[in-house]
Amino acid sequence: MKNALKVAAAATILALGLPMSTFADEAMTKGEVTKVDMDTGKLTIKHEPIKKFDMDSMTMVWRAGDPAMLKEVKPGDKILFHADKVNGQFTASKIEKAKK
């Protein structure tokens, strides 16, 4: 029954065109901000492996899901973020500073 509910929820989310991470209890990825580009709405993050994308640790550019998030971080900040792919672009849909 529990699996049937998960399948139904996933089907509803997909039918609405929302990213799965909108409602999924997804682990956040650890990273460090190396650059913030307010003009393009992007930030560069040195991150740990991301299983859902079969991606190794690397430094790469991410689109900010909400440009306002860019005001909350600066180079050198340790962060946790939700890694998504929205309209074909790797997107940090949620960012929070890591607790020290």
CATH of the domain at 65: 2.40.50.320
What total number of domains does the chain contain? Answer: 1
- Closest alpha carbon to 46 in 54, 38, 55: 55
Note whether residue 85 is domain-resident.
yes
Instruction: Give yes or no for a contact between 42 and 56, defined as CB atoms under 8 angstroms apart.
Output: no
pLDDT value for 27: 84
pLDDT value for 99: 85
pLDDT tens readout for residues 21-40: 444 456 899 999 999 999 99
Instruction: Give yes or no for a contact between 45 and 63, defined as CB atoms under 8 angstroms apart.
Output: no
Supply the pTM of this predicted model. Answer: 0.73
Range of the domain at 58: 27-97
The residue ranges of the chain whose pLDDT is under 50 are: 21-24
